Chains A and B, each alone.
Chain A
Amino acid sequence: MVRLKQLEDDNLLAKSEMPKQSKFPQFFEGIKIPLYCFGSQSLMGREPFGELPCISEDEESILDTLLLAQWEDRAMKGIFRYDVTASEIKAIEGRKKFLAQLNEGWNLDHFPKREENKTFHQEDVFRDELLFGIASSEKTNPELIPSAAVPDHAFLVFINASPVEYGHVLLVPHHSNSVYQFLDASFLEMAVRLGVEINNCCFRLFYDSSPDASHLHFQACYFPNPLAVELMPVDTIFGDLQTWMRISVVTDYPIKTLLLESHQKFKMMMEILVKMCSFLQEMRISYNLLISDCGKKIFLFLQQQKSKDPCSLSAWECGGYFLFKSRSDFDQATERTMLKRLSSVSIDDDSFKAVKLLCCRIASKFGI
């Protein structure tokens, strides 16, 4: 099975190890995938940002249909390690509405290490896990090419063989002669754009920062219910939504969280966010992103970077969705323990103050 770690090891991502442009084409030679092309219309002027989310679902989204179809196809073929819809989910009793899932098959390390010496995947396995590609195009409207060679500048959508929810996929940037090492505005924009064009309020994207930024990728899936953090009240600390963008603090939430929203100056928001992320990296603060509400909301969770324990919480955990491997843990999960779990990784008040200040400073530099 191709898991992300394997892909990294085998040059999809880790540039240090590979002679550029040597192995890459060979994976994709002869492989035809559905290719979704974003329209050339820029995100900034797009209608969806002026509308309400979640409910403007009348028009069919090709991308949503494509992702669901490809994912269901793989589910039918038995490519996944388990049927995630067979796992029980519940809301943990309490005011925060944390969600819990009992999933005995889930692997805590979402990217299991490849067994040593195992030769790289056969082409058909690879093909099974690669759902489709996403590229930009010159055409005004988005289109789907049912079968195309993998283009050079594209984002590849793989299944996650250990899904945490229906439709769980990995989004990996693919450039043969350059490898993304850091979250940059174009990658972020691609992810957000995906959220916008899928136009399904259940769909959410996740990004987890890692100290070495070695595997740059987004994850995404359909969460059936709103996550706890999305239901929390917020306090605006910068800007307002009407003129350009708004930055708010999520209040009364155990992990320090900022919320960025924009209706118009979308690109600017991306740049601000990317700038912030790189500062956070310098400040040795781990962070996670959750993109929800059809791309209109970006939550930024702030975690302490612990040198000892690199396994910090994933973005969905920060958002309030927890997986349990055993029935007893699942049954005994209480709001209190979840609150504790989140608050234990959160940065402290002083660091948060600094982050807020930094955030406002960066935002104001972009000026109104």
Chain B
Amino acid sequence: MESQLGLIEQSLNSSYSLWVREALDEIPDNFTITDPCICGHPIVFVSRGFLKMTGYSKNEVIGKNGRVFQGPKTCRRSVMEVREAVREERAIQLNLLNYRKDGRPFWMLFHMCPVFSKEDGRVINFIAVQVPLSRKARRSGSVFCRNGVILSGEGSMINDVVYGSCRKEVRSDSLLELGPVLALDSALDSDVTELEIEEPCEASDLDKIRAASAINRVLSVLTHYSESTGRLVCGKRCYLSALGLLSSSLTISLGRIKQSFVLTDPHLPDMPIVYASDAFLKLTGYSGQEVLGHNCRFLNGEDTDSSTLYQIEESIKMEQACTVRILNYRKDKSSFWNSLHISPVRNASGKIAYFVGVHMEESCNDQGGRGLSPEMRQLSTVGAVKIAVRSSSMGAGSSKS
């Protein structure tokens, strides 16, 4: 798990430079930043406000998935909606019941949005802002602030269905006009009453604006600091996904599969690796950057049997699965007998999208055991990858209403 922590540490630094944390720390809102490219989709940054609100310490939050804040009474449908938004790489705003460290639940307005790489349109991070909801804000159709300005009248969203209306994305352009309103929002922080947990509560317009403006504050910091590393990011996808690039939802589903495997894309020249599991990197000694974009042949060496390679090539050509025993080499030049299973993997259209190669070192007889043979683990990995690819390749584009 050490490497995992390293990845989390590096996640922000490599995209936004070392100084970004300081700037993010100055933002008063409650938010987290997650990295979908790391296995488990962990939180890589957490704001002070968030820690104060939930009662956790920083170390307890970094590296965790956002689900740790959910509990038995968290609405499953809402969780599913969030998952779907992650899958479709879009923004979402809804009410969610979360839990503090001491187990006390609280309602909050959850606003999440993706951060895209300007270069290739890949999702680099997700920002998730949480605005705790108070009964006070909900009860009043209009909200009075200290200076007596009425912020929202009949326009409040009290009658809106929780899951319907909140989904619309808040456009950053429209927020500029609301600037003066935003200055007042901190006035509402004092003496908030806890809501009855049983009844889902609605967010006021003001809550929604607060969430959206917090998102914008974080986004502008990230955009600014991404300039210093040359890896520019933005809040809107500005480049159609490059061919061969995995969606973050697929990366997340694949991350749950613990075995050693790679995905290669037969539609790209030289069939490069587009995904390599942590266990594969551990087995071979390479880093992700060293293998992604490369053909698997770097595993071969002088004693690798060429007839086996031919056999693999043939079955790929025939779009068939095959199992071989092949001598492969690690980064440190040490060799190992690789029990390799290769299988075509189809997407939701039924077309072959990738080939999965499950690599297992032969001498490791006892792969955790529990009655499962290495062959079973190998085949179950293929099954799990097939399901993951089939699910994440569906939806976008076909179901927009």
Q: Give A residues with C-beta under 8 Å from B.
A: 34, 50-55, 57-58, 60, 62, 64-73, 76, 83, 85-95, 97, 102, 143-146, 166-167, 202, 222, 224-226, 230-231, 233, 240-242, 263, 293
- A-B residue pairs in contact (CB < 8 Å), sample of 19: A52-B67, A54-B80, A60-B258, A64-B380, A66-B372, A68-B379, A68-B384, A69-B380, A76-B379, A85-B345, A88-B349, A88-B350, A91-B398, A93-B399, A95-B401, A145-B371, A146-B371, A225-B395, A233-B163
| Least CB distance, A63 to chain B, in whole angstroms | 10
A31 to chain B, nearest CB (A): 18
Contact B163 A222 (CB under 8 A): no
Which residue of A has the minimal Cβ distance to B197?
A242
A70 to B376, CA, bound (A): 7
Select one of A73, A93, A166, A233 contacting B401, CB under 8 A: A93
Q: Is the CB of B394 within 8 A of A225?
A: yes
Cβ contacts under 8 Å, B348 to chain A = 88-90, 224
Docked-complex contact A69 and B379, CB < 8 angstroms: yes
Q: Are B74 and A52 in contact (CB under 8 A)?
A: yes
Measured CB to CB, the nearest residue on chain A to B258 is A60
User: Which residues of B367-401 are within 8 A (CB) of A?
Assistant: 368, 370-373, 375-380, 382-384, 386-387, 390-392, 394-395, 398-401
- On chain A, the residues within 8 Å of B395 by CB distance are 91, 225
Interface size bucket, B side?
Answer: 35 or more
Determine how close the nearest CB of chain B comes to the CB of A73; give it in whole angstroms.
Answer: 5
Contact B390 A60 (CB under 8 A): no
* Bound Cα distance from A200 to B168, whole angstroms: 30
Asked whether B256 lies within 8 Å of A57 as measured between CB atoms, the reply is: yes
B370: which of A73, A88, A143, A222 is its contact (CB, 8 Å)?
Answer: A143
Q: Is the CB of A90 within 8 A of B398?
A: yes
> 4 new A-B pairs (CB below 8 Å) besides A65-B380, A90-B399, A224-B394?
A51-B72, A54-B80, A224-B348, A226-B80
Measured in the bound complex, the distance between the Cα atoms of B97 and A242 in whole Å is 14
* In the complex, B77 has a CB within 8 A of chain A: yes
List B contacts of A263 (CB < 8 A): 72
Q: How far is the CA of A240 from the CA of B72 in the complex (A)?
A: 12
Beta-carbon nearest neighbor of B369 in chain A: A144
Output the nearest chain A residue to B72 by Cβ-Cβ distance. Answer: A50
A167 touches B350 (CB 8 A): no
Contacts of B398 in A (CB 8 A): 90-91, 93
Q: Is the CB of A66 within 8 A of B380?
A: yes
Nearest chain B residue, comparing its CB with the CB of A141: B370
Contacts A146-B371, A226-B80, A231-B80 known; A166 to B67 CB distance under 8 Å? no
Cα distance A283–B327 in the bound complex, in angstroms = 66
Count chain A CB atoms within 10 A of each CB in B65, B376, B401 and give the residue with the most. Answer: B376
Q: Is B79 at the interface (CB under 8 A from chain A)?
A: yes
With A65-B372, A72-B382, A89-B394 as contacts: A52 and B387 at CB distance below 8 Å: no
Q: If A88-B348, A91-B395, A93-B399 touch, does A69 touch B387 (CB 8 Å cutoff)?
A: no
> B375: which A residues are within 8 A, CB to CB?
69
Most buried by B among A55, A65, A230: A65
Determine if A72 and B346 form an interchain contact, defined as CB atoms under 8 angstroms apart: no
Chain A residues in 8 Å Cβ range of B387: 166-167, 202, 222, 224
C-alpha spacing A90/B301, complex, angstroms: 44
Are the C-beta atoms of A94 and B370 separated by less than 8 Å?
Answer: no
B73 within 8 A of A: yes
Q: Which of B72-95 contact A (CB under 8 A)?
A: 72-74, 76-77, 79-80, 83-84
Give CA–CA (A58, B255) in the complex, Å.
Answer: 10
Bound: A233/B75 CA distance, A: 11
Evaluate whether A62 and B383 lie within 8 angstroms (CB atoms) in the complex, with A202-B391, A242-B73 already known.
no
Check B386 against A62 for contact (C-beta < 8 Å): no
- Residues in chain A near residue B394, CB distance under 8 A: 89-91, 224-225
